[in-house]
Chains A and B, each alone.
Chain A
């Protein structure tokens, strides 16, 4: 087995470092992208490259916007409660 292959496999045996900082919330983005892509792949009657990409991007953006709004609302609620 080549060194590169061994290195790739070895990277799956040790967890990555994820800091407890605001940047760690960006780990949400690939997940939302996967959900948007799978949902559109199951829902569209026919798959064409342009339409599929556009619909998936719109859904991705919608989910992100909704999450941001929810986060702001919860942050405001927490601020009100703790003030």
Chain B
């Protein structure tokens, strides 16, 4: 009984984390925090889109020369960046200099903010789960 409760708790935490990665703020939405979810969704998506607008989709390039930490933080964004990465892998969207720098900073920051929200949502789910039991 206790083991099943633990497994259910772990599954719910994983669901919150996965939802938060798939759609920014969805983790909070699953926990009933609708206002937080909407604020986080709008802010993360706007930040990501701003970075893509400044530097073009070429700033998302997982096979390019960018450092590993750049790619790792960009992956923290919703999975749409993986689709963009497939398009840009051919090298058809070159970007250099300031647009590349600022575009990368914006997309990295949106990824890290999304990661922060995922971790926070999982922690909130854990606290609520343990409080119930």
Partners in one complex: yes
Please tell me the size bucket of the interface on A. Answer: 20 to 34
Which residues of chain A come closer than 8 Å to B73, judged between CB atoms?
none
* Residue on A nearest B110 in the bound complex, by CB: A34
Which residues of chain B come closer than 8 Å to A19, judged between CB atoms?
98
In the complex, how many residues of chain B place their beta carbon closer than 8 angstroms to a beta carbon of chain A? 33
* Residue on A nearest B114 in the bound complex, by CB: A38
Judging by beta carbons under 8 Å apart, are B98 and A18 in contact? yes
| Alpha-carbon distance A50/B18, docked complex (angstroms) | 31
Q: Known: A13-B56, A15-B58. Is A42-B99 also a contact (CB below 8 A)?
A: no
| Alpha-carbon distance A18/B93, docked complex (angstroms) | 17
Instruction: Select B53's contact among A16, A24, A34, A42, beta carbons within 8 Å.
Output: A16
Instruction: Select B43's contact among A11, A15, A18, A34, beta carbons within 8 Å.
Output: A34
Task: Let me know if B103 is at the binding interface, CB within 8 A.
Answer: yes
| Alpha-carbon distance A37/B109, docked complex (angstroms) | 13
* Residue on B nearest A34 in the bound complex, by CB: B47
Task: Let me know if A20 is at the binding interface, CB within 8 A.
Answer: yes
Judging by beta carbons under 8 Å apart, are B117 and A16 in contact? no
A interface residues, Cβ below 8 angstroms from B: 11-20, 24, 27, 30-31, 34-35, 37-39, 41-42, 47, 52
Kindly list the 4 A-B residue pairs having the minimum CB-CB distance in the complex, ordered from nearest.
A15-B99, A18-B98, A47-B35, A34-B47
